[in-house]
Structure 1
Amino acid sequence: MNDASRTQPIIECPFLQTEGTDGVDHLVRLAADVCKAPMAGLALVESGRVLWRSGVGMGGGESAFCLRALSQDAPLTIGNACEDAHFHDHPWVVGEPHVRAFIGAPLLALDGKPHGVLCIWDTHPRSFSESDIRAVAGLGRALTAHLDLLSHTAALESRLIRYGEDEALLQDQINWINNYGRDLEVRAARLEAINARLEALAKLDGMTGLKNHRAFQERLETEFQRAARYSMPLSLLLLDVDHFKSFNDSYGHLAGDEVLKALAQVLQESARGLDFVARYGGEEFVMILPHADHLGAIGIGERMRTGIEAAAWPNRPITASIGVATLTRGMERPSDLIAQADRALYASKANGRNLVTHAKNLVEE
């Protein structure tokens, strides 16, 4: 579809005045989470006007980016707005909120008419990955289906009111609603499956396939509260790849990425079934160890350290320094456990690397 066919998009939006549209806000928030972007919004377009339905991290509305994305059949991506011919002098680029990257997915009904645009902005230049583009396109389709459902529901309610006095027509409408209700259930189930998949993707590290930092923080909060409530042991293991920067400098970042992927697999294969393994950030990894006291945690840490050291690595041997901490009565927040593990990790690195150090031993020394 070309630009001319969308210069005056006309959309009937009776659902804007109805309840039950929380799903729209949820999908918009999910778009921001999946793309790890600070700003996202849903714009509905009517007669060339942009009407904002939902927004995350936005202080006000904007139309130029949205109308540009509306002219596309696939998501529009802009890696650096400062270098884009259309937007280099846009107020949002030269001033607050200093937009740099943008991805927008047009929302098209089955008949080709535009509902609007799902927009995501970032304040840093970036290249959107294929998974980002697929996720945004999928969310756009989910929003389109959701808006279609709301619109059709409003149309049905209007028909019921209009023909409420005609018993025969009312019965026909009831039959039609029953049939359509079954279709809505199928669509709702599909939307729920899409939402669940996107929620899972938002908590995965794209490179290693492990859980990401966000998922780790959520799980640690849960395990910390459970251990504190039921007086159960809980330990945390923080791991850092030794001399990783020099490895990247010598063999390149692609080779470094392969090391992180292989190390993640070693950790997964060596972990117990109840352990939680995640990428903490950069070359750091973290493991939550439920039901592990300080001796058990040291043993698990040594198993991880020796497993990494013994693995077959290309280019040169790889080792890791590990810091371990175990929950004590003096710890009030999950961040206390992280701080102790980080302190122990620093000691392992300071004492020659390729070591496992428990925070308890630092106190006793």
Structure 2
Amino acid sequence: MMSVRRSESEEARARALWTRELLNSQPEPECDELVRLTAAICGTPIGLLTLLDERQQWFRASEGLKLGDTPREIAFCVHAIRQPEMLVVKDALMDARFGANPLVVGEPTLRFFAGVGLHTTEGHPLGTLCVIDTTPRILTAEQAQALAVLGRQVSARLELRVQRKMLEEVVKEKEKATAGLRASEELFRAFMNASPFLSYIKDAAGRLLFYNRSFAQRFGVSEYAWLGRTDEQLWSRKLTKSVRTHDLEVMAGGRMVETEEHIRGADGTISSLRSFKFPCHDSAGNVLLAGVAVDVSEEVAHKAELERYHRELEEANDQLRRLAVTDELTGLRNRRAFEERLVMEFSMARRRKRELAVLLLDVDNFKMINDRFGHAAGDEVLRRLGMILRTTVRLPDLPARYGGEEFIVLLPESGEESAMGLARRLMQRVAEEAWENGAVTMSMGMAAMNESLLNGYQLVELADEALYAAKRAGKNRVMVHSGSLT
């Protein structure tokens, strides 16, 4: 059905072109010459090229007679185009079809007519090439044959004229379409060049078919220098592999892919581009790759700066947290950290019925050291005692500076015996240390957990009582509190 409708449409177009070209324009000199030649060969005074439509007849070339348009119903040519062979009327007055025809009984009193139909190559009738006379006559066989040949020549001539006209119109339409495409391309390029985004189009092999001004400026090239170049010719091997992987993923999957690529620009700096790639097709249906890239270098740098700031902030917070639980002078945990751990260990020891001990230490005669040698000397004593504690206690033990010249050690899962063992080792380390301003001694009080204690602070109180007992007993010794609070 589609082919039939298309054929009918083409025929209608052909007829319209014939009508416009042949009925509304001046005849060509070649047609006049063919008409004169026809009349001369047939020996008639008049030769005509007639054209017909549904209502009337036109005379578009003639020799020996000037006629205007005539109604279709009285035209001899209507009969000529209805039959395949030549129409010859030797004497119109003697022919029943034409005896009363106004062209016969009135001006120009036609008596003789011989004509062949003119048709398009599709077989559509146009008119006739004919010869007429006001007196009856006959044609010889040679004249009739010549008229038929000349009729085919006129048909061919008219056909060529229409084809030329059609070709001219096609050329005009093509030029118009080309101008439209050129205008569209110029508008497209103007739009793309005004865009701040890097835009490009590549074929399936990775060759650049188009890129805009922002793209060219980013890489320091002209707007056409990289056309036809492939990824392998433009980027490093590592980057080419990454880019091609994304490109093939887009073209194979038929969907947009968002990526972030880092590309070295013309000035050697690395640009961070957020690229949006998507498939498109050319007029032949080939799959192409289109891309729009946004320079996010500042955003990436800002993000990196934020991440660095957050890291530094976390490190600062960690430092603050460490400072919050660490004694700055000795590097040991401070009293706050010790008491938090004490609460936890006491609760766990009582719940699981485990041993727990506390060793409280105080530097003997510390005020005298400060008064005699200065506070710097006193601080150095405390720092070195902190180091002795850190390097002597067990891994699970918690040594801390409890305040002033007092130190304390929390000993999880340790009873009196193991706590006393640590105390003796500490006393020995302190005695063996090479002190700059004379020997340093410590008094120690130790207490172990028992069922009468309600919390860890009571355990510390017991150790404190033992410490003061050691002080009263002469210092530089360890005392154990083995009972309840007094």
Give me the TM-score of the superposition, normalised by structure 1. 0.48
Higher relative contact order (CA 8 A, sep 6+): 1
